[in-house]
């Protein structure tokens, strides 16, 4: 895979004339050069259901008079730019009017994405209908006719469908359409059948030709879905609903698969389909750097104007990010993330959680935000992952001990691992009994909400006090270990005929049992602290978790740095080059409008202190790509150095001897 890709959307209504009229090979090439682009995904078929080449299986766009697809491929290949080819699978609005019986339906017999033909928007097809055979013919036509560098198939995934075809199949197979779990299972087998048929169809013409099925998210705990692709593209537009926490959360899971992957953001101010919207150059600089710091290649979404002229402003903008990536690629290929901590997400445990963004639940979002702000080196794991390499595993808020999860945790503890658990994590599936040696007896939910936590330890940025805990707490009794802080209940819950002040009742100051307990192999926190952090962001929550991790990791923590909370740090191992690459990033997203996170000003940081503790003897330290030596000193557990300046993104390379 190339490092600097553009995903060139071209969803164009049949009502628009003069398609590609202003396309120019030289102008297309000039813009790719201006943008430092080395791969560009171009369109064979769009959501409107039109082809951009003379097709035997897809109606050609009525406003197109030449083979735009061939012209783009020729122009790109001439300057050594790769061209994956896009086909819309889930949406085909032209065909939706001809075969509405092939569309997906919900329980109320309504379509999606939009639920009627009286609203502007697309309608999604069911891949359990004859539409699949037609789609396979379309894919094979493109693969046979064009020398593309891969196939990108969009708007697919496991779906719950109640169309007549699916209902008949379920009934014939003895399944109950009234059971949501059986409908879900039917959707899973439909999707697996689709990906198998696509692979067979492509291999019949070009064996091993790359293919990616885009769901908009790689599901944690479902690596079998990821393996249906030849590589992965992590769609994650921070301003488009995913937020800035989604990509690190997803990348820290995906990189362990060993599959090539890229991070897909967009040049848009908001979301796909936006014409005339542009990010600040610093936003794209940061988002591209975030990709390579997490072991990914980069992709930036654009949308071609119907007349085919590439937008100069867009490629000037993209070029500001990609010229930096181009200089850094040598230190970013074939890397493995170095991690101390494993986060077993609620998504990987397949437990329902409230949504915090387009694809991430609040508990997982709160956890990844704390880890990023605390400069903790982490991976996201599932039950397939090898947990033995991690010093600490986090079970956030809602990880109930089903049989496979309990077996995995017990095996990890038997090997000497340590746990950080919170809230309901560690309870049996019924939520009535603690199943793990966390030093506690669970007594059920605390009837007081909110309540208070008084720590028995010093926190870096918090004075001794009773701190409000907004999330649901658990009453616990100390059975073993050390109490690190106590719970205090309010005088009473806030109700219609008993309330005090504007919000909640103050603490009564009375002891309400332990709130945080430590044993030799665990620390347990008796609240849903990660969900609370995602929704309220209270400082004490992060201080509690980071204190717990510091105690559990001890001197085994691989990095200690003065990088502030809005910084991001990773250490990527390039074993083939015998070096570790320490990435430091810094930017401060701000909220503008309604739920839009913006990066504009990037303030440089100076004299960032770092101590790293790695299982190697470091021989040389230098800045990349500047190739400037960095003085370093040996410490009791590793080495220390100072990064003189951090302007958005800086790599520090640590060459080692053995």
Inter-axis angle of helices 164-172 and 180-203, nearest 10: 100
Give 123's DSSP letter: B
- Supply the pLDDT for residue 529: 97
pTM: 0.93
- Supply the pLDDT for residue 454: 96
- Supply the pLDDT for residue 253: 94
Domain residue spans of the chain: 4-327, 341-556, 559-656
CA distance 396 to 368: 10
Q: Do the beta carbons of residue 361 and residue 355 sit within 8 Å?
A: yes
User: What is the separation, in whole angstroms, between the first and last Cα of the chain?
Assistant: 30
Beta strand 596-598 with 590-592 is antiparallel
pLDDT at 513 over 90: yes
Beta strand 618-624 with 649-656 is antiparallel
Residues 4-327: name the CATH superfamily: Glycosidases (3.20.20.80)
List beta partners, residue 121. Answer: none
CA distance 136 to 529: 48
Express each pLDDT in 156-187 by its tens digit: 999 999 999 999 999 999 999 999 999 999 99
- Supply the pLDDT for residue 596: 80
The third-level CATH classification (topology) of the domain covering 559-656 is Immunoglobulin-like (2.60.40)
CA distance 79 to 34: 12
| Domain range 341-556, CATH architecture | 3-Layer(aba) Sandwich (3.40)
Give 329's DSSP letter: G
pLDDT at 555 over 80: yes
Express each pLDDT in 312-357 by its tens digit: 999 999 999 999 999 999 999 999 999 999 999 999 998 877 766 6
Share of the chain above pLDDT 70, in %: 99
Beta strand 341-344 with 559-561 is unpaired
CA distance 585 to 290: 7
Express each pLDDT in 443-466 by its tens digit: 999 999 999 999 999 888 888 899
Under DSSP, is residue 638 helix (H, G, I), strand (E, B) or coil? Answer: coil
Express each pLDDT in 97-143 by its tens digit: 999 999 999 999 999 999 999 999 999 999 999 999 999 999 999 99
CA distance 585 to 570: 9
Query: Cα 271 to the chain's mean position, in Å?
Result: 16
Q: How large is the average pLDDT for residues 255-260?
A: 92
Share of the chain above pLDDT 90, in %: 87
Residues whose CB is less than 8 angstroms from the CB of residue 501 and which lie 6 or more positions away in sequence, other chains included: none
- Supply the pLDDT for residue 439: 95
List beta partners, residue 116. Answer: none
Q: How large is the average pLDDT for residues 53-79?
A: 98
Q: What's the pLDDT band for 358 if we cut at 50, 70, 90?
A: low
Inter-axis angle of helices 312-328 and 25-34, nearest 10: 50
Other Cβ atoms closer than 10 A to 60: 16
b/e map of 476-506 (b: 16 or more CB within 10 Å)? beeeebebbbbbbbbeeeeeeeeeeeeebbe
pLDDT at 638 over 80: yes
Average pLDDT taken over every residue of the chain: 95
């Amino acid at each position: 895979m190339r490092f600097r890709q553009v995903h060139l959307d071209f969803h164009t209504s049949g009502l628009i004339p003069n398609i590609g009229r202003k396309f120019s090979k030289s102008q297309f090439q000039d813009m790719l050069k201006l943008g430092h682009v080395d791969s560009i995904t171009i369109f064979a078929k769009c959501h409107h259901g039109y082809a951009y080449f003379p097709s035997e299986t897809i109606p050609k766009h009525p406003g197109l008079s030449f083979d735009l697809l061939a012209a783009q491929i020729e122009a790109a290949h001439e300057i050594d730019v790769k061209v994956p080819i896009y086909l819309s699978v889930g949406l085909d609005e032209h065909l939706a009017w001809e075969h509405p019986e092939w569309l997906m339906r919900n329980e109320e017999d309504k379509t999606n994405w939009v639920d009627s033909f009286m609203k502007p928007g697309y309608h999604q097809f069911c891949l359990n209908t004859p539409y699949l055979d037609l789609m396979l013919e379309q894919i094979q036509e493109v693969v046979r006719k064009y020398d593309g560098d891969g196939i990108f198939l969009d708007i697919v995934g496991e779906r719950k469908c109640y169309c007549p075809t699916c209902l008949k199949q379920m009934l014939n197979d003895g399944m109950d359409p009234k059971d949501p779990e059986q409908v879900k299972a039917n959707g899973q087998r439909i999707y697996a059948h689709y990906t198998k048929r696509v692979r067979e169809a492509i291999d019949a013409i070009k064996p091993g030709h790359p293919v990616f099925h885009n769901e908009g998210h790689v599901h944690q705990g479902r690596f079998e879905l990821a393996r249906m692709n030849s590589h992965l593209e992590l769609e994650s537009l921070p301003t488009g609903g995913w937020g800035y926490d989604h990509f690190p959360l997803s990348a820290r899971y995906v990189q362990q698969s060993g599959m090539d992957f890229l991070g897909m953001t967009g040049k848009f101010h908001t979301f796909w389909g936006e014409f005339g919207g542009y990010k600040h150059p610093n936003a794209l600089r940061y988002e591209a750097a975030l990709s390579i710091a997490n072991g990914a290649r980069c992709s930036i979404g654009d949308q071609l104007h119907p007349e085919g002229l590439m937008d100069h402003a867009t490629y000037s903008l993209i070029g500001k990010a990609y010229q930096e990536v181009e200089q850094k690629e040598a230190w970013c290929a074939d890397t493995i993330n170095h991690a101390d901590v494993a986060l077993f997400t609620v998504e990987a445990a397949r437990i329902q959680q409230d949504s915090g963004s387009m694809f991430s639940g609040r508990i997982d979002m709160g956890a990844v935000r704390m880890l990023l702000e605390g400069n903790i080196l982490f991976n996201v794991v599932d039950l397939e992952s090898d947990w033995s390499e991690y010093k600490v595993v986090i079970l956030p808020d809602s990880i109930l001990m089903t049989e496979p999860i309990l077996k995995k945790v017990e095996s990890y503890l038997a090997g000497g691992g340590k746990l950080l658990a919170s809230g309901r994590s560690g309870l049996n599936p019924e939520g009535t009994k603690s199943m793990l040696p966390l030093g506690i007896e669970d007594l059920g939910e605390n009837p007081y909400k909110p309540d208070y936590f008084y720590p028995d330890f010093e926190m870096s940025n918090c004075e001794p006090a009773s701190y409000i805990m907004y999330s649901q707490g658990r009453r616990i009794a100390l059975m073993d270990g050390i109490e690190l802080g106590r719970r205090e209940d309010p005088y009473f819950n806030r109700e219609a005929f008993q309330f005090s002040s504007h919000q909640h009742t103050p603490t009564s100051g009375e002891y309400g049992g332990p709130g945080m307990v430590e044993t030799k192999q665990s620390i347990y926190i008796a609240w849903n602290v990660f969900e609370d952090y995602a929704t309220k962001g209270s400082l004490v929550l992060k201080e509690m978790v980071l204190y717990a991790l510091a105690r559990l990791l001890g001197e085994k923590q691989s990095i200690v740095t003065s990088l502030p909370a809005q910084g991001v740090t990773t250490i990527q191992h390039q074993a083939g080059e015998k070096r570790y690459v320490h990435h430091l990033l810094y930017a401060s997203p701000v909220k503008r409008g309604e739920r839009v996170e913006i990066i504009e000003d990037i303030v440089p940081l100076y004299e960032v202190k770092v101590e790293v503790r790695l299982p190697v003897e470091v021989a040389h330290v230098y800045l990349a790509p500047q190739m400037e030596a960095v003085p370093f000193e040996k410490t009791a557990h590793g080495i220390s150095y100072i990064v003189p300046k951090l302007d958005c993104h800086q790599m520090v390379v640590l060459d080692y001897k053995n």
